[in-house]
Amino acid sequence: MKKRIKEYLVFFIFIAFVGISFLINLNLGQKMGKNFYIFAKDMVLILPPAFILIGLFDVWVSRETIEKSFGNKSGLMKYIYAIGLAATTVGGTFVAFPVANALYHKGAEYDSIVTYVTAASLFMIPMSIMEASILGIKFTALRLGLSIPLIIISANILKYVFNKENYSLPKVE
């Protein structure tokens, strides 16, 4: 309970600082307030539809489909599916972690989940298009091409460690 009060206290101190900054014309606090507003507005626009889609995914996609596509028997295709799903995920890691949780509970292997979460921050289609237009197609292709094997290798190392330690995610009550 005390931790909750501290969290709210920090938020109210921030709001008070921003409010006072607008009253006394303090540029730093005004910029912080404007940036917070932009960020909060983006989150309010992105997260509710994303969570609705995640809920629908959780209800509509069967466990068998996930196990077939992201499980042990899917071979290398699970990495292609994970990277493809990550590239089309809107909202970055804010959405990637709830999707990863849904994949886990539907029977996806750890390496598929790690590949998805890692690729969600590296392979977003809009980001890659913007990067290619600024830094060039060769740079973007090189970055993406070098990232894929590294993601798969690190995902397999983590899967090995998790399985060796008999790790499982804690149950949510």
Q: What is the pLDDT of residues 145-167, one digit of tens each?
A: 999 999 999 999 999 999 899 88
Note whether residue 54 is domain-resident: no
Instruction: Establish if 43 belongs to a structural domain.
Output: yes
Confidence of residue 172 (pLDDT cuts 50, 70, 90): low
Specify the pTM: 0.75
pLDDT bracket for residue 173 (50, 70, 90):
low
Instruction: Take residue 88 and report the two structure tokens written for it.
Output: 């089309």
Co-location of 93 and 130 in the same domain = yes
Domain extent, residue 44, equals: 1-48
Residues 6 or more apart from 72 whose CB is under 8 A from it? 109
- C-alpha dihedral sign at 150, 155, 158, 159: negative
Q: Tell me whether residue 149 is in a domain.
A: yes
Residues 78 and 35 in one domain: no
Same domain, 25 and 65: no
Tally of domains within the chain: 2
69 and 31 co-located in one domain: no
